[in-house]
Amino acid sequence: MALEIKWTKRAEISFQRIVEYIEEEWSEKTAAKFVKKVNMFLKALELQPDIGKIEVEDKGIRGFVFSRQTTIFYRIKNNRIILLNFFDNRKNSKSKRI
C-alpha cells in the first residue's frame, strides 16, 4: 500500500531553491529533468518508504542520497511520508538542517 507524501514548508523552499539554482547555472531543461527525477523517486518512496538510511534514530528521520549534490530527508509518521528537507551536499555538513 502506498503512503501519502506531505511536504513541509522547509522541504518546499529547499526544493525550489535547488530547482532555481539548476535553472540559473545550467538550463530550464536540466531543471525540468531534475524535477521529473524527484517525482519518480517520490513515487518509488511511496511504495518503499524505508529505503532511506536512518539519520536521527530517536526522531525516525531518514536520509536518501538522491544525487551527489542532493540528500532528501524525511520521516514516516501516521502512515504518511513527511518530506523534511532537500539538502545540498556541497554545503558544510555541520549546517545540515533536518
* pTM (predicted TM-score): 0.89
Confirm if 43 and 78 have CB atoms less than 8 A apart. Answer: no
Cell numbers for 20, please give them: 532555481
Among 69, 59, 9, 76, which Cα is nearest to 37's? 69
Chain segment 41-90, per-residue pLDDT in tens:
999 999 999 999 999 999 999 999 999 999 999 999 999 999 999 998 87
The helix or strand, by DSSP H or E, that contains position 34, with its residue range, turns out to be: helix 28-47
CA–CA dist 57, 64 (Å, integer): 14
- Using CA atoms in the order 32, 36, 42, 46, what is the torsion angle rounded to 10 degrees? 150
The 3-state DSSP composition of the chain as helix, strand, coil percent (nearest 5) reads 45, 30, 20
Average pLDDT on 8-17 reads 97
Structural domains in the chain plus CATH codes:
4-89 (3.30.2310.20)
